[in-house]
């Protein structure tokens, strides 16, 4: 069953735009036939009045204006698209300046389809996505072809627990291993046990590891276990949050992840919670990303990979070489 889709706005939208352009062109032509005496006097001040007659200039101006508007309307339709995959809805648009909006998806969202009589006749309509928790995540997927087919995919993506993750990681097995390229342990996510207070640098360190897993072969980040692999738990982390439980922890994790890495990569990461002797541990399971991931912090972007059991930053010159070897098809396609 398909859990992702790309879709464009209906061609009817472009035809409708062309119709409006023709009507606007007709009105502009009718307007251009008024006040000819005044316009001719103004026209005579321009240098090209020596080369073209007034009637010829008027015809060329209207024709070029209509052509430019028509081309712009077509390009606007051509470059606009929507894509959906588990956990993320993306909207791309813009002709001169490309724009992109990413909206994280979750089960709390409601989706509805709206289509007027004309839209039903030509099989297009709009989908409204409403986030009851965060109104800033509301979106309208406007005038798309066969919206109910797209709605089915969207609903599956809303309700998906992550198509990449089929098996819950075995915490006991992970604790029997030493840190390696695909495994790292962290005592906490944000509470520093050494200085006995909140330390946001710990969040950055955890996200560096996750970014490196995404750029390499994936892996597991176990949070709540010290260097001796003794369970410390998440209680001190919970105490720093507004909602002091694992739901509050995961919500905060997602917020930090979206800011520092990006919501478009969230579906490559799943957060699990396990208990050992009534001590709750978090396991962040990461699968390899399909494109490069940059960590955004302190106003800059950084690229990390895993080398052995170490998270390593790459220099700008090294990043390009790594990208070509890690994602050869993406590089060759210019994406």
What is the Cα 208 distance to its own chain's centre? 20
Range name among 37-41, 120-124, 277-281, 298-302 with the lowest pLDDT average: 37-41
Longest dimension (CA), the chain: 93
Q: Looking at domain 171-332, what is its CATH homologous superfamily?
A: Schlafen, AAA domain (3.30.950.30)
pLDDT interval class at 137 (50, 70, 90): low
Range name among 113-122, 248-257, 288-297 with the lowest pLDDT average: 113-122
Quote the tokens at residue 92: 């791309």
Who contacts 36 (Cβ-Cβ below 8 Å, separation ≥6)?
none
Closest CA to 263 of 37, 106, 103, 40: 103
Q: Which residue has the tokens 């495994």?
A: 183
**How many angstroms separate the CA atoms of 4 and 32, rounded?**
50
Closest CA to 210 of 118, 159, 282: 282
Asked if pLDDT for residue 1 goes beyond 50, the answer is: no
Between these two residues, 63 and 53, which has the higher pLDDT value?
63
pLDDT interval class at 232 (50, 70, 90): very high
Who contacts 334 (Cβ-Cβ below 8 Å, separation ≥6)?
none
Asked if pLDDT for residue 113 goes beyond 50, the answer is: yes
**How many angstroms separate the CA atoms of 295 and 318, rounded?**
16
What is the reported pLDDT for 273? 93
pLDDT interval class at 205 (50, 70, 90): very high
Asked if pLDDT for residue 33 goes beyond 80, the answer is: no
Instruction: Count CB neighbours of 149 within 10 A.
Output: 14
Between these two residues, 20 and 136, which has the higher pLDDT value?
20
Mean pLDDT for the stretch of residues 132-150: 78
Mean pLDDT for the stretch of residues 73-101: 82
Q: Which residue has the tokens 């710990």?
A: 202
Who contacts 190 (Cβ-Cβ below 8 Å, separation ≥6)?
198, 199, 200, 202, 203, 237, 240, 252
**How many angstroms separate the CA atoms of 202 and 222, rounded?**
13
**How many angstroms separate the CA atoms of 163 and 149, rounded?**
20
- The overall average pLDDT reported for the chain is 83
Element (H, E) at 320: helix 316-326
Asked if pLDDT for residue 89 goes beyond 90, the answer is: no
Asked if pLDDT for residue 230 goes beyond 70, the answer is: yes
Is there a contact between 219 and 272 (Cβ–Cβ < 8 Å)? no
Element (H, E) at 69: helix 54-78
- Percentage of residues in the chain having pLDDT higher than 70: 84
Distances (CA, A) of 214 to 92, 203, 227, 272: 24, 16, 23, 17
What is the reported pLDDT for 81? 86
Mean pLDDT for the stretch of residues 45-73: 75
Most confident of 85-99, 122-136, 189-203: 189-203
Instruction: Count CB neighbours of 246 within 10 A.
Output: 17
Closest CA to 162 of 254, 78, 95, 99: 254
Rounded to two decimals, what is the model's pTM? 0.57
Mean pLDDT for the stretch of residues 160-170: 64
In the chain, list all ranges with CATH 3.30.950.30. Answer: 171-332
């Amino acid at each position: 069953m398909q859990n992702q889709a790309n879709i464009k706005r209906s061609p009817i939208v472009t035809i409708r735009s062309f119709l409006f352009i023709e009507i606007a062109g007709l009105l502009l032509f009718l307007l251009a036939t008024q006040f000819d005496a005044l316009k001719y006097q103004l026209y005579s001040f321009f240098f090209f009045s020596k080369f073209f007659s007034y009637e010829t200039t008027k015809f060329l101006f209207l024709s070029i204006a209509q052509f430019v508007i028509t081309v712009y309307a077509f390009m606007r339709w051509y470059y606009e698209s929507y894509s959906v995959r588990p956990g993320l809805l993306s909207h791309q648009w813009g002709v001169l300046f490309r724009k992109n909006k990413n909206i994280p998806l979750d089960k709390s969202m409601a989706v509805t389809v709206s289509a007027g009589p004309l839209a039903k006749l030509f099989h297009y309509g709009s989908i409204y996505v409403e986030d009851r928790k965060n109104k800033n995540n509301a979106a309208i997927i406007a005038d798309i072809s066969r919206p109910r087919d797209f709605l089915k995919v969207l609903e599956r993506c809303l309700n998906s627990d992550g198509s990449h993750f089929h098996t819950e990681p075995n915490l006991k097995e992970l604790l029997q291993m030493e840190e390696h390229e695909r495994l790292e342990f962290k005592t906490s996510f944000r509470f520093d046990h050494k200085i006995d207070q909140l330390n946001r640098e710990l969040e950055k360190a955890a996200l560096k590891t996750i970014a490196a897993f995404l750029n390499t072969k994936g892996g597991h980040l176990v949070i709540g276990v010290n260097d001796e692999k003794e369970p410390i738990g998440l209680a001190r982390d919970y105490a720093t949050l507004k909602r002091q439980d694992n739901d509050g922890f995961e919500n905060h994790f997602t917020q930090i992840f979206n800011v520092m890495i990006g919501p478009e990569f969230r579906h490559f990461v799943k957060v699990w919670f396990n208990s050992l002797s009534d001590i709750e541990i978090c396991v962040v399971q990461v699968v390899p990303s399909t494109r490069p991931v940059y960590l955004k912090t302190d106003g800059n972007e950084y690229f990390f990979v895993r080398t052995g059991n170490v998270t390593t930053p790459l220099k700008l010159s090294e990043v390009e070489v790594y990208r070509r070897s890690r994602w050869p098809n993406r590089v060759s396609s210019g994406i």
